[in-house]
C-alpha cells in the first residue's frame, strides 16, 4: 500500500520503497516495449559511490524511470530523483514519486543523498527545457544553470551525462508553454498545458539512452570559484551536446536505411 503524503515527506530520504518499485516493474516493461527503449553505454554508470546522472528534459520525462529501472535490474542500485517542488502539491502524483524515491530538488537534499553514496537523477534544464517548443527539440538549457555543477563539486562526485533521443518527440509542443504559463498563471514553474501525441497518449517514438563517461569534478573548494563552476558546467554541457548529436545522427541514419528498404539494425 502506498503511504499517504504528509508535509515534510519531500525532505525525507528514507521513503523509497523497493516493494513498490518491484510492483511497478510490469508497467515499466510495457512502457519500455511501447517505446522500444534501449540503453547504450550502461557500463558508464558507476557501480558504487555517489554520482549525478544528468538527463535532458522532455515534456513527459518517462526516460528517468526507464533508466532507473534498467540500472536497478542491471546493478541492483536504486537511483534517486530530484524533482520540482510543485510535484509534491499534486495528490496521487506525489505519493507515487515518494514511493520510488524522489525528493524535493534542493541542493541540500542532493547533498544528503550523494553523501550516502546514491545515484541521483537530475534534469538541469528544469521546466523551461521540458516545456519548450518542438521547434527547439533537443536544445539544452543547461548553460543557464550552475546548481548541478556546484552540487557535484561540493560533494566530489562525477556528473554522468545521459542523453535520451526520442524524448522530445512523444508530444507536439506548438510553442514555449513555460513562458506562456508564467504570463498567464504568474507561477514560475507552471507551464501552460497544451501538447498532443496520439491525443493525450504519447506517440510511440523509439527511445534510446546514450550514457557518456563520468566527468570528474574539479578539486574540493572549487564550488566557491565562479570560474571553476562555469568551466565544469560547460564541460558537462559539451559532453551532453556531443551525446545528443551522436544519437540523432544514428537515428537519422537508421531512418534513411529503413526508407530505402534496408535493415536498420546495427
Catalytic residue set: 57
Q: Which cell numbers in the block locate residue 35?
A: 517505446
Which three three-digit cell numbers place residue 101?
524515491
Decide if 174 contacts 134 (C-beta within 8 A): yes
Cα–Cα distance list, 190 to 151, 167, 233 (Å): 25, 20, 26
What residues form DSSP beta bridges with 197? 199
Which SS3 state, helix, strand or coil, does residue 120 take? strand
What is residue 94's DSSP assignment?
H
Phi, psi of 96 (to 5 degrees): -65, -45
Chain centroid to CA 240: 12
Greatest pairwise CA separation for the chain in angstroms: 57
CB 61 within 8 A of CB 167: yes
- The H or E element spanning position 71 is helix 63-75
3-state secondary structure of 37: coil
CB contact at 8 A, 10 and 88: yes
* Helical segments of 147-186, H only: 147-155, 177-185
Amino acid at each position: 500500500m502506498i503511504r499517504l503524503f504528509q508535509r515534510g515527506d519531500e525532505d525525507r530520504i528514507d521513503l523509497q520503497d523497493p516493494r513498490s518499485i518491484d510492483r511497478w516493474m510490469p508497467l515499466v516493461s510495457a512502457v519500455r516495449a511501447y517505446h522500444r527503449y534501449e540503453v547504450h553505454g550502461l557500463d558508464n554508470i558507476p557501480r558504487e559511490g555517489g554520482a549525478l546522472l544528468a538527463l535532458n528534459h522532455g515534456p513527459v520525462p518517462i526516460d528517468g524511470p526507464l533508466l532507473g529501472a534498467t540500472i536497478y535490474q542491471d546493478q541492483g542500485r536504486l537511483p534517486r530523483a530530484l524533482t520540482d517542488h510543485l510535484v509534491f502539491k499534486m495528490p496521487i502524483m506525489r505519493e507515487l514519486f515518494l514511493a520510488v524515491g524522489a525528493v524535493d530538488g534542493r541542493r541540500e537534499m542532493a547533498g544528503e543523498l550523494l553523501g550516502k553514496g546514491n545515484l541521483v537523477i537530475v534534469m538541469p534544464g528544469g521546466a523551461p527545457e521540458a516545456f519548450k517548443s518542438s521547434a527547439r527539440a533537443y536544445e539544452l538549457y543547461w548553460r543557464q544553470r550552475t546548481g548541478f555543477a556546484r552540487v557535484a563539486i561540493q560533494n566530489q562526485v562525477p556528473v554522468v551525462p545521459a542523453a535520451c533521443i526520442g524524448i522530445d518527440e512523444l508530444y507536439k509542443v506548438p510553442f514555449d508553454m513555460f513562458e506562456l504559463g508564467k504570463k498567464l498563471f504568474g507561477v514560475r514553474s507552471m507551464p501552460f498545458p497544451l501538447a498532443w501525441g496520439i491525443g493525450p497518449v504519447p506517440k510511440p517514438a523509439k527511445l534510446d539512452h546514450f550514457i557518456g563517461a563520468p566527468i570528474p569534478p574539479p578539486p574540493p573548494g572549487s564550488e566557491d570559484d565562479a570560474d571553476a563552476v562555469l568551466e565544469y558546467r560547460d564541460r558537462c554541457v559539451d559532453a551532453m551536446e556531443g551525446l545528443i548529436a551522436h544519437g540523432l545522427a544514428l537515428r537519422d541514419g537508421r531512418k534513411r536505411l529503413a526508407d530505402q528498404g534496408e535493415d536498420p539494425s546495427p
